Every structure is written in C-alpha cells, then in structure tokens.
Amino acid sequence: MSVVAVIPARWGSSRFPGKPLEARVAGVALLQRVWALAKAAPGVGEVLVATDEPRIRDFVEALGGRAVMTDAACRNGTERMHQALARAGLADRPAINVQGDAVLTPPWVVGALARALGEADGADLVTPAVRLGEAAYRRLVEQKRAGQVGGTTVTFDRQGRALYFSKQIIPFLRDIETPLPVFRHIGLYGFRPGALERFVSLEPGPLERAEGLEQLRALENGMTVRVVEVDYRGRTHWSIDSPEDRLVAERLIAEEGELLAAWDGSARHREEEQEKT
C-alpha cells in the first residue's frame, strides 16, 4: 500500500505570516520546495497539502498538486493531517507528516520512513533520527549551555523502539566513546492506519507538557514509536521559522547544492539512484 505524504500549511505565523508562499528560498516558494521534495520521495504515492487558507489551496492546485481544506480550529499539524486524510478519503492509508517549513528535507529521508511503514514490525509510528559525530555533539552541548531550546534527542532500544525524547541531550555521556549513542531527532512522523486516529484522540500528558514535545504523547499512552536511523549525506537539516532563517537556507543551498533539479513536481528519483548519490 503506497504512502501518503501530508504537508500541513497554514497562513498565520506570529514570526513569519504567510511564509508558505511569501518565503521565497532561492527564488522558489517555501511550500513549493517542500511539496516537490515530498513528491520525489521513494515510496510516496500521493502528496496532500492540508491548509485552512484558500490562497494556499489555489497555489497548490496551480502547481498541479492536491490541497485539502481543513478547519482553522485544528490545534496543530497532526490534527490538520488527520482531518485532511479523512476528507480526502485516505484515512486507511499509511501517512507521513512532512513539516511545511522543513525546506531542506532530503527525499531519501522521507523515503526511509515510507519504507519503514511497509515493514511488518508492529510499530504505531515511525520517525527519523541522525547519529551525532563528536563534533556535532560538542556543538549541541554548547548550544544547550547557551540556552538554545532547539535540538531534540532520542533514545531507543535494540529493536529501534523509542524510549524517550528530550530537549536535553540524552543519554548523559560519562565518557566520550565512538560511535556516540546520541541521536538527534528529526521532526517527521509516519503513522500506520488507525494509529493517527488514536493519537489525535489522546490528551497531552505531563511529559509532553513538560518537554513541549508532542511525540511523548504516544509513549505516555503505550503506543510504539520506531526510530529510523537516517543519513543526511553531508547535508544540513534546516527549517524556516523567521525571515532570518530563509537567508540561512539560501546560504546552505549555495554551499551544498540543490536537492532537486526541478521544483515543478517532475523530479522523481528511483530509490536505487538516490542510494548512489
């Protein structure tokens, strides 16, 4: 069963209103970039944009994509994803929530989640993480010491099932030994059919409220979350939350190159070709 990629996209943003369309990154609208990257992901059969803004719907349809109108009352992207799948008649399909502002998400990372959703390991959710090298670990330590909140880490068991997610660096390292058992979490989530329905029916628990991490709701309620280790292949993960973030994204693109050759939804790579890049 092919996977649906859902991109929640809303107009309102306190720091960057209208960013799905107004934030043009190296000449291409933010939402268009994310939509094209999702379409290029191996294993993804359909891409939906879930929005409450007619301007976003019209933009996506002009690209030849599919947009689903959702209620403005949706509290977050997960609820918007759930409603969009139901209204599109796709609630029985495995689905991946692709962040609408994660403009540098490699298609092979989304593809890794699509592949994991096709494996019969029984996990309710799948989510990616990157193992940190020593240099990246020390940078993250310094960022935390400086008071930066960004950067979530995750621990998991030998079967890859998540044990805990935290804004702190976990596990605590008494000694530095390589490879480091420290994994930085990437905020993409794949849900098996039925798991998303259950997830949105649950209320936030004390751990989710304490950390401000929605994924802890699954663990607090006994849902299984499989962590998929991915390799960014020398590329930098980046999201756009402010106009300044757009400039950083453009600098990274200039340094690392574009992920796709075209942004019209036609750049479709076979998985075996991506593995060679």
At 94-139, the pLDDT tens digits run 999 999 999 999 999 999 999 999 886 789 999 999 999 999 999 9
CA–CA dist 210, 215 (Å, integer): 12
Using only the alpha carbons of the chain, give its radius of gyration: 18
How confident is the model at residue 269, as a pLDDT?
55
* Within a domain: 77: yes
CATH code assigned at 134: 3.90.550.10
Residues 6+ apart with CB under 8 A from 248: 238
At 251-267, the pLDDT tens digits run 999 999 999 999 999 98
| Range of the structural domain that residue 87 is part of | 1-118
CA–CA dist 51, 45 (Å, integer): 20
Q: Could you tell me what percent of the chain has a pLDDT over 90?
A: 83
Residues 104 and 38 placed together within one structural domain of the fold: yes
Alpha carbon separation from 84 to 10, 231, 251 (Å, rounded) = 13, 30, 34
pTM of this prediction?
0.93
Residues 220 and 128 placed together within one structural domain of the fold: yes
pLDDT at residue 1 greater than cutoff 70: no
How confident is the model at residue 272, as a pLDDT?
43
3-class secondary structure per residue, 62-84: HHCCEEEECCCCCCCHHHHHHHH
* Within a domain: 39: yes
Which of these ranges, 44-53, 88-97, 158-167, 241-250, has the smallest mean pLDDT? 241-250
Residues 104 and 131 placed together within one structural domain of the fold: no
Q: Are strands 44-51 and 3-8 parallel, antiparallel or unpaired?
A: parallel
Residues 131 and 195 placed together within one structural domain of the fold: yes
**CB atoms inside a 10 Å sphere around CB 263:** 22
Contact 47, 38 (CB under 8 A): yes
DSSP 218: H
Tokens of residue 79, six digits: 């609820």
